[in-house]
Amino acid sequence: MSEWLTTVEFAALVGIGRQVAHRALRRRRWRKNSLEVRKVNGRRGGNAGEQYQVNSTSLPLEYQHRLKVSQTLVENHSKSITGRTAEHTWWLDYLRPALQHPVKSTARTDALAELADNPTRNWEGTAVSYSLRTLQRHAARFDEDMKVGRHGRSDRGKKRVVVSRRWDKLVPFDASTKAKIAEDLKQEIRGLLKGGMSWGHTLQEAEKFLIDATRAWGFRPGDPNEMERACSIPTDLVSAELHFRNVHRFKRDHKAYDDRRPRIRRTVACMQPMELVVGDVHPVDIHLTRPDGTVATARLIGFLDWATQRLWIGLIFFEKRGGVQNRDVIEVFAAMIEAWGMPQSLYVDNGKEFGFAAFLDDAMLLTVPGFHGPSRSTHVINALPYNASAKPIERLFGDLETRYFSTARGHIGGNRMSKKQEAIGRTVAPFGAFEDVVPAIEGFVRTYNHTAQGKKSALKGLSPEATFRKHLGAGWAPTAMSRDEVRAACARTEERSVVQGAISVGGRHWTCLELQAYQYEKIWVRVPAYHTPAELLLLDRYGERVGIASPDVEFHPLDKRGAKASAERAKVHRQAVRDLDRSAPDIDVAARLIARGQAQPDTVPNEPVGIVSYDPAKRPARIVMPKKPLLSEERRREQDERIAAQMDLVKRIVG
């Protein structure tokens, strides 16, 4: 009966490797014998899952017989030969002459004796010979329905040593006590490593702990040195707990922990140019000379188009101490937008120099002159603090330093505490002035943008510019925006009072023809957050543009231009009032008010509940008010009282 064998089964049957068997089946010939081979579609494997199978009837008779015997032996022992290892198959074939005879029979013993000490080749093709005892042991394993050939220990996977062989043999404790001491020792080692203790100190402290624990359980040998030798800690015991160092790294060295934490992988496969732009500031490791003779380094402001890996840069150099400001970053960002278009999203860190990014979410919602592109908003994404590895521009800065900037003179390296030296004790000479290094840095960046990246990189062997041209060929187009519009986007809306056709912003007066004709008391102004403005955008209460205000000009009292300008402003204001007059109908307000009063009905009071009269006969009661004395009578009465008091005094004295 024919049987189709897979490549693996064929290799196991004839004792060759799988790849050798695959080549033989592909050539349909093996050891000068033609083979009947067919192709079948499998679920796994290379070449679209195609697999070779050989018909057993086309094999040499020797191997047909071996296959038949192996199948018979397997059926007798309820085992399947399919999937056996090459070693097991070889042993079954090698012991076949002896296994055909009953156990402990003379015929089996004689067959094994014939095989013993006879050179042969095993399943790996190595010349070997086996003793009679080895053959008897393998035959016995087959009789016990066990796998023939090399096998592992029966206690494999089970722990055979508690702490160390020497300690286990020395101490007289039972198994539960040993397990308790071993568990306490393990926890001690974990705590030491979690606390940041070094390898050597951990071994010493663990050994001391084991000695104290052994003595605490009542075992004290006569020889102290024997106890110390037995309590020596195996290095594997500490190595198995080294992962507890991660706790100390997490608590005390979070930067090292963050570098090792799991991260996700990102792809640019479906991204479009300017879909996501990453911004950052990098100190260039090249010494430059200031006008006063001191040396310093420039700052590179970079924006990376994530989809194409193109890099746009701007350089800043401080002649005195200083740092990169928002207005510096805005200028570089505005130049990039003017050349590459407006990004859909901006990914920056939390540095104060990127504070302007908060204004960009509403940048496309502003009605700015000259911009009539599609409605599109910019989403600003702030990176997590101290998360440099999440920004590809950080890795790019490192590549620029090592592959490009390091070739320029004056390069000092990234370690400011250990700068590169031309000679022992002498730092490298500066590159030159800032104006000299700008063309060099821009040339390096241009070279990077046109250099093909690796086959395994995100660009798959293309350069950033080639990737960008590929997107252009597919129809991608940028969204345009001028520098002035970017500056206008980075502004706050503030309310101002209009006084005599002008407003006050930043201690200066601003005006324009539209503001001089403006009839409301309040107006809203777009005030730049970081730049000193030359013009101001004016908006009404509905956010609609009113005009562009410029600084008001002051005139000399005798300057005729002042009188002319005053007359023009008065004319504009009068015309605005006339237009306002014509826009509404004429109404006689006084007549309206009089007419409304006359149209009101008269009010009729109710009957009175009583009558008030001055006639004494009709008055129910009379109220007599005290009469105020005249001034002369009051004086006379006071005089009489004084005289009477004096007379009483005289009578008492004389009396």
Mean pLDDT of 304-316: 94
Residue ranges of E strands in 506-571 = 508-511, 522-528, 536-539, 545-551
Write phi, then psi, for 461 (nearest 5 degrees). 90, 0
Residue 154: is its pLDDT beyond 80? no
Tokens at 462, concatenated: 């293309």
Cβ(461)–Cβ(455) below 8 Å: yes
> Mind listing the domains of the chain with CATH numbers?
4-143 (no CATH), 165-259 (no CATH), 265-473 (3.30.420.10), 490-580 (no CATH)
pTM of the model: 0.57
pLDDT of residue 620: 56
Cα–Cα distance measured from residue 404 to residue 545, given in angstroms and rounded to the nearest whole number: 48
The more confidently predicted of residues 309 and 12 is 309
At 389, the pLDDT band (50, 70, 90 cuts) reads: low
CA-to-CA distance for 214 and 181, rounded, in angstroms?
A: 8
pLDDT 10s digits, 473-526: 999 998 888 887 787 778 888 999 999 999 999 889 999 999 999 999 999 998
**pLDDT in the model for residue 188:** 95
Residue 507 CA to residue 45 CA, distance in Å, equals 78
* Mean pLDDT calculated for residue range 337-360: 80
Cα separation values, 526 from 98, 243, 328, 337, 505, Å: 102, 57, 20, 21, 10
What local confidence, expressed as pLDDT, does residue 100 receive? 83
Residue 374 is predicted with a pLDDT of 42
* Tokens of residue 618, six digits: 């009709």
Chain position carrying tokens 């009605």: 367
Q: What is the C-alpha to C-alpha distance for residues 164 and 449, in angstroms, rounded to an integer? A: 61
Alpha-carbon gap, residue 345 to 273, rounded angstroms:
11
Q: What digits encode the pLDDT tens for the residues 255-290? A: 788 778 888 788 888 889 998 899 899 999 899 999
In which residue are the tokens 């001191």 written?
A: 294
**Residue 340 and residue 273: Cα distance in Å, rounded?**
9
Helices 7-14 and 18-27: angle between axes, nearest 10 degrees: 110
CB count, 10 Å around CB of 306?
22
Phi, psi of 278, deg, nearest 5 = -110, 130
Mean pLDDT of 434-463: 92
Structure tokens at 543: 């956010």
**Cα end-to-end distance, the chain, whole Å:** 177
Query: What's the average model confidence in pLDDT over 61-76?
Result: 66
pLDDT value of residue 42: 56
Per the CB < 8 A criterion, the answer to whether 237 and 182 are in contact is no
CA pair distance 588, 442, nearest whole angstrom: 74
Confidence (pLDDT) at 371: 33
Q: Across 92-106, 152-166, 511-525, 526-540, which has the greatest mean pLDDT?
A: 511-525
Cα separation, 351 vs 206, whole angstroms: 47
- CA nearest to 465, candidates 334, 603, 288, 340: 340
- Report the greatest alpha carbon distance in the chain: 183
Task: Tell whether the model's pLDDT for residue 144 goes beyond 60.
Answer: yes
Of 127-131, 358-362, 471-475, which has the strongest mean pLDDT?
Answer: 471-475
pLDDT of residue 394: 87
How many whole angstroms separate alpha carbon 411 and alpha carbon 430?
8
- What is the average per-residue pLDDT within 107-111? 87
- Mean pLDDT of the region 370-399: 64
Evaluate whether 286 touches 410 at the Cβ level (below 8 Å).
yes
pLDDT at 145: 62
What's the confidence (pLDDT) of residue 335? 92
Over the stretch 584-599, which tens digit does the pLDDT of each residue have? 999 999 999 999 999 9
Judged by average pLDDT, the poorest of 16-25, 350-359, 388-397, 459-468 is 350-359
Task: Give the up-direction half-sphere exposure of residue 508: CA atoms within 13 A in the CB hemisphere.
Answer: 15
DSSP conformational letter for 78: T
Residue 384's pLDDT is: 66
What is the DSSP annotation of 171-210?
----HHHHHHHHHHHHHHHHHHHHTT--HHHHHHHHHHHH
483 membership: H or E segment, kind and range: helix 483-489
| pLDDT in the model for residue 308 | 94
Ramachandran angles phi, psi of 211, nearest 5°: -65, -45
Q: Are 26 and 90 in contact (CB under 8 A)?
A: no
Alpha helices in 1-122 (DSSP H): 7-14, 18-27, 61-76, 86-94, 96-99, 106-115
Q: Round to whole Å and give the CA distance between 147 and 79.
A: 10
Beta bridge partner(s), residue 497: 522
pLDDT at res. 315? 94
* Distance in angstroms (rounded) separating the CA atoms of residues 135 and 141: 10
Planar angle of CA 164, 166, 168, nearest 5 degrees: 65
Confidence (pLDDT) at 631: 60
Is residue 365 pLDDT above 60, yes or no? Answer: no
Identity of the residue numbered 401: E
pLDDT at 445 (0 to 100): 95
Q: Are strands 295-296 and 299-305 parallel, antiparallel or unpaired?
A: unpaired
What confidence score (pLDDT) does residue 450 get? Answer: 95
239 bridge partner residues: none
pLDDT at 369: 34
Cα-Cα-Cα-Cα torsion 115, 121, 122, 124, nearest 10 degrees, comes to: 180
> Residue 62 pLDDT more than 60?
yes
Residues 360, 323: Cα–Cα separation, whole Å: 22
Token pair of 49 as six digits: 């899952």
Closest-CA residue to 316 (of 303, 304, 302): 302
Mean pLDDT over 109-130 rounds to 84
**Whether pLDDT at 401 is above 70:** yes
Region 454-469: what's the mean pLDDT? Answer: 91
Those residues with Cβ within 8 angstroms of residue 182's Cβ, 6 or more apart along the chain or in another chain: 162, 163
Q: Please spell the DSSP secondary structure of 339-356, one letter per residue.
A: HH---SEEEE-S-GGGGG
Closest CA to 331 of 303, 310, 306, 363: 303
Give the whole-number percent of the chain exceeding pLDDT 90.
Answer: 33
Q: Does residue 396 sit in helix, strand or coil?
A: helix
Cα 232 to Cα 208: distance, rounded to the nearest angstrom: 9
What is the distance of C-alpha 446 from the center of its chain?
28
Summary mean pLDDT of the chain: 82
The pLDDT value recorded for residue 470 is 93
Which element (helix H / strand E) includes 140? helix 132-143
- The pLDDT of residue 373 is 38
The percent of residues above 70 in pLDDT, for the chain, comes to 85
Alpha carbons within 13 A on the beta-carbon side of 628:
1
Q: Which residue has the tokens 């070279």?
A: 447
d(CA 448, CA 513): 51
pLDDT at 198: 92
